[in-house]
Amino acid sequence: MVLAIQTGGGSTQDWVHTGAALGKRAYVAGQAGSYAYSSANFVVNQLWAVPLWFPAGRTAAEIWIPCRTNGAFNVRVGMYACTSDTNDYPGALLAAPAAIDWSVAGGASPAVRVASISVNLSSASKVYLAAVADGAAATYMIRNYAWDPCMGVDATTFLGGPQPSAWLAAFVYAALPDPYPAGAAITNTAPPAVAVYYAS
């Protein structure tokens, strides 16, 4: 099994794997309290933004995403800031590493693919981990039987309706846009499993 999910207390979401970053620990975006994963493929030209609380003073050095099966695809990941304290929407682009090669040349599968970044925030903030693919790249998604408290709820979802998990925007695959596209919708679809590793 490539991913070992640690079911620690509280809302901690830890992700340990046996690939290129052996022995490191990363923090999974989205879906606090949901630790199960399911096999799925990306839908082309859908740009995900999955929320994550970024602690003050830490330096994010890597974004992780699982490659379930190699294929002739490319996947881009990145990080967006929250627009403001009063506008809970992905805003400015904080990191946009090079595209990840999903083919055999890009690495073994199944394995966690790693994209290097360098982001340091002086105050604790909500950020969004982004992911988009140019085809049906095989990955793992977070199973959405638990809601994401970062996304909030309305009266319907609070009473037990479908729970929100992420923002989802239509976007023709390319370098990540800055800022995040306007007009995205909150979705309750299971988001891709993306995570951040903090070097310090």
Q: 58-75: per-residue pLDDT in tens?
A: 999 999 999 999 999 999
Please list, residue by residue across 66-76, b when 16 or more beta carbons sit within 10 angstroms of its beta carbon and e when fewer do. Answer: bbbebbebbbb
CB contact at 8 A, 93 and 179: yes
3-state secondary structure 102-117: CCHHHCCCCEEEEEEE
**What gap in Å lies between CA 28 and CA 53, rounded to an integer?**
10
- Residue numbers in the chain where pLDDT is lower than 70: 1-22, 31-36, 143-149, 161-162
Q: So what's the pLDDT on residue 163?
A: 73
- The count of domains in the chain is 1
**What gap in Å lies between CA 187 and CA 200, rounded to an integer?**
32
Q: So what's the pLDDT on residue 70?
A: 94
> What is the span of the domain harbouring residue 34?
3-198
Which CATH number fits the domain that encloses residue 65?
2.60.120
**What gap in Å lies between CA 154 and CA 143, rounded to an integer?**
21
Q: So what's the pLDDT on residue 19?
A: 54
Q: So what's the pLDDT on residue 4?
A: 35
**What gap in Å lies between CA 197 and CA 60, rounded to an integer?**
6
What's the gap between Cα 193 and its chain centre? 5
Q: So what's the pLDDT on residue 63?
A: 95
Q: What's the whole-model pTM score?
A: 0.85
